[in-house]
Amino acid sequence: MILGIGTDLANIERIAGTLDRFGDRFRNRVFTEREQAKAARRKDEAGTYAKRWAAKEACSKALGTGLAMGISWKDMSVSNLRTGQPVMELTGWAAERLAEMTPAGHKATVHVSLTDDHPWAQAFVVIEAEPVQVD
């Protein structure tokens, strides 16, 4: 069953402006070390951050919380499989929220898909729950 969906569109130029203005203060507040390492290796650093920003916003919508005050952005992070497929990892409050919304006897999976076409970066997140197999 589907527990939640979320979407977000982020402007890469706006993220580039924030990076110019706040630099590491912005990077460290919003992105994990792993996300920062990926962006630093890329030619399109702002685009890489904008997709991940959109993913965090979309994920907060799928969790039904939105970006309430005091939540940690780093508790919703994106990593990539060897194939390039993005994977959303939840920790802290986000993992707790996911556990709360997952029905008993089910296991939740967070699916994420990203795209960008300058100046826009877009993310979709779908949270699915499957019954846990009992032998």
DSSP state for residue 66 in the 8-state scheme: -
Point out the residue whose Cβ comes nearest to ligand COA.
84
Q: How near is the Cβ of 114 to ligand COA at its closest, in Å?
A: 4
Question: Of 48 and 60, which has the nearer Cβ to ligand COA?
Answer: 48
- Contact pattern from residue 51 through residue 90 relative to ligand COA, giving x for each residue in contact according to CB under 6 A and a dash for the rest: x----------------------------x--xxxx----
44/46 Cα distance (integer angstroms): 6
Count CB atoms within 10 A of the CB of residue 53: 26
The residue among 47, 76, 45, 48 whose CA lies nearest residue 60 is 76
Q: How near is the Cβ of 78 to ligand COA at its closest, in Å?
A: 6
28/51 Cα distance (integer angstroms): 16
Q: Which of 59, 116, 125, 127 binds ligand COA (CB under 6 A)?
A: 116
7 neighbors 61 (Cβ within 8 angstroms): yes
Q: How near is the Cβ of 119 to ligand COA at its closest, in Å?
A: 13
Q: How near is the Cβ of 95 to ligand COA at its closest, in Å?
A: 21
99/115 Cα distance (integer angstroms): 28
Interacting residue ranges for ligand COA, rule: CB under 6 A:
48, 51, 80, 83-86, 114-116
